[in-house]
Structure 1
């Protein structure tokens, strides 16, 4: 079952987001397509600024795939000085790519 992940990072900047995405690709730049992700299972990703910080929403093939990615992501978020936040997870009813 596909899931939708929503993450809101208060006080986070675009530069911090880009630091993390660059680290996830081993220094090759941002994440531009699902195959750039370090673990399989990503269906879609969108991120952008909010008045309070940074917003990310993903669609993953499963919660297990997302959790696997989260284990790789957490140390990079800490290194970038981003706050630890809990994702909001929803079951996806319809996904169009």
Structure 2
């Protein structure tokens, strides 16, 4: 079952986001297997991230590799990510 994952980072800047993405890419971890959509959005200095994953298992497997990279980039989460089962997806 597909899931939506919604992250709420604390004061995420474009620079911190770019650094984490660069490290993930250089480590061969980006884009992650099983992640259908990744969206970074919001106001400067307060960006948020939402993703659609093929399964919770794939997300959790990636999370074990992601969290140390976020910590190294100085990215903290306000709370654990919100996870929802997908009811429907429409692509235009």
Normalised to the residue count of structure 2, the TM-score between the two structures is 0.85
**What is the rounded CA distance, in whole Å, between the counterparts of 2:69 and 2:30 in structure 1?**
16
The count of aligned residue pairs is 90
Unmatched segments (≥5 aa) in structure 1: 29-34
The separation in 2 between residues aligned to 1:27 and 1:61, in whole angstroms, is 22
Which residue of 2 is the match for residue 89 of structure 1? 83
> Displacement, 1:51?
6.5
The residue number in structure 2 matching 1:47 is 40
Q: CA deviation at 1:72?
A: 1.1
1:9-48 equivalences under 5 Å are 9-26=9-26, 36-37=30-31, 39-48=32-41
For residues 26 and 42 of structure 2, the distance between their equivalents in structure 1, rounded to whole angstroms, comes to: 24
Measured on the aligned residues, the alpha-carbon RMSD in Å equals 2.1
Alignment of structure 1 residues 74-85 onto 2, 5 Å = 74-84=67-77, 85=79
